[in-house]
Amino acid sequence: MKIAVCPGSFDPVTLGHLDIIERASELFDRVVVLVMTNSAKHCAFTVEERIALLKKCVCNPKVEIDTYSGLLINYAKEKGAVAIVKGLRAVSDFDYEFQQALINKSLFPGIETVFLTARSENMFLSSSMVKEVCSLDGDISPFVPKEIVKDIYLRCKGDN
């Protein structure tokens, strides 16, 4: 069974993330969406909340949601994953992602990093953009799954 891990902060999950998760599930037998705890990043939602939001909008039986606070590659090894799947939006993502992929490959040569290009309509979409639009009272419904629009408004509206 070929397992892939889709890591990220998902603070909160957007339609861009969901697209990558769904496409990964067509390429692999099982996909683990891994909510990473990154102390350097200030998150609007706790890990538990981010998981709950993901669970509200991911209902693919091939996809599981998990969390990890250690080194991604150690999780991938323990899980028996063959790939880390990342979404690439623009050139700006590339430098960082390429560096991560090279480090992960040297730490664990048994794993591949697979990059899926973002759909053109999601190229500009990020969790931080969603939070910013929401805090300024903009309409976030074109960017996030409808199941979680209300949750995001409750947390981020009027945050500016």
20 binds ligand ADP (CB under 6 A): yes
Q: Quick one: 23 or 77, whose CB is closer to ligand ADP?
A: 23
In the complex, minimum distance from the CB of residue 89 to ligand ADP, in angstroms, rounded to a whole number: 5
What is the pairing mode between strands 83-88 and 63-68? unpaired
Q: Quick one: 15 or 107, whose CB is closer to ligand ADP?
A: 15
* DSSP β-bridge partners for residue 83: 4, 112
Query: Cis bond leading into 12, ω under 30°?
Result: yes
* Residue of the chain from 22, 126, 133, 151 that contacts ligand ADP (CB under 6 A): 126
Cα 2 from Cα 6, distance rounded (Å): 13
145 binds ligand ADP (CB under 6 A): no
Give burial (CB, 10 Å; 0-12/13-18/19+) of 87. buried
Helix (H, G, I), strand (E, B) or coil at 154: helix
* Residue of the chain from 125, 134, 140, 148 that contacts ligand ADP (CB under 6 A): 125
Residue ranges in contact with ligand ADP by CB under 6 A: 8-10, 14, 16-17, 20, 86-87, 89, 93, 118, 122, 125-127
